[in-house]
Amino acid sequence: EVQLVESGGGLVQPGGSLRLSCAASGFTFSTYSMTWVRQAPGKGLEWVANIKEDGSEKYYVDSVKGRFTISRDNAKNSLYLQMNSLRAEDTAVYYCVSRRRTAESWGQGTLVTVSS
Amino acid sequence: DVVMTQSPLSLPVTLGQPASISCRSSQSLVHSDGNTYLNWFQQRPGQSPRRLIYKVSKRDSGVPDRFSGSGSGTDFTLKVSRVEAEDVGFYYCMQGTHWPLTFGGGTKVEIK
């Protein structure tokens, strides 16, 4: 059974940093592209970033370019999102999702709240 | 960016009756590899999204066959042949063809 378990969310002040992690199991992680999608409270879904299977290609939504970095460790079956210079508008549940073009499986999400 | 426009925003449905959600893209979703990356997701209250349909019409394992997807180019539809109580929630389309990937604004399905 595919499992994606996010962690690392929490309350952070504007301008602060957080690192989200996603532990993957139940599939061959190294052969899957991976994605982060977020959902602000009461709002719709927004794609944030994705990364190819080997980490060679990374794409970001414009609003996070230069502030967020997606990475992966295939040896540890893990996906990461380093978030710097956080803003109030980054407040959302962040989902780890497998496959970048078809968004196959989703984790339960981790809540990031940016507030002073 | 490719804009995904869903309609209606809200869809009150009688149990056992059909329902249909439209999703239109501002550009063709046919990828250079020949695939059309149009996907549909269901988000029940308090839950994570779950994929129902990928590449326009391929239904995921475990998804009831009352759900079906169709369309081509820029015009796509999700149909539910007979709505059940467990179908209540939000439905989103998503295009995976062009960067940045984009979602429709969502359709809220509720029981009349």
Tens place of pLDDT for every residue, chain B, 112 residues? 999 999 999 999 999 999 999 999 999 999 999 999 999 999 999 999 999 999 999 999 999 999 999 999 999 999 999 999 999 999 999 999 999 999 999 999 999 9
Q: Which candidate from B31, B97, B103 shows the least CB-CB separation from A46?
A: B103
Q: How confident is the model at residue A100 (pLDDT cuts 50, 70, 90)?
A: confident
Provide, as residue numbers in chain B, all residues whose Cβ is less than 8 Å from the Cβ of A44.
Answer: 90, 92, 103-106
Q: Which candidate from A44, A62, A104 shows the least CB-CB separation from B105?
A: A44
Q: Which candidate from B48, B90, B106 shows the least CB-CB separation from A107?
A: B48
Phi/psi region, residue B86 (left: phi>0; alpha: psi -120 to 50; beta: rest), is: alpha
Q: Are A45 and A24 in contact (CB under 8 A)?
A: no
Q: Does B108 touch chain A (CB under 8 A)?
A: no
A–B: how many Cβ contacts below 8 A? 59
CA B55 to chain centre: 11
- CA gap B86, B93 in Å, rounded: 19
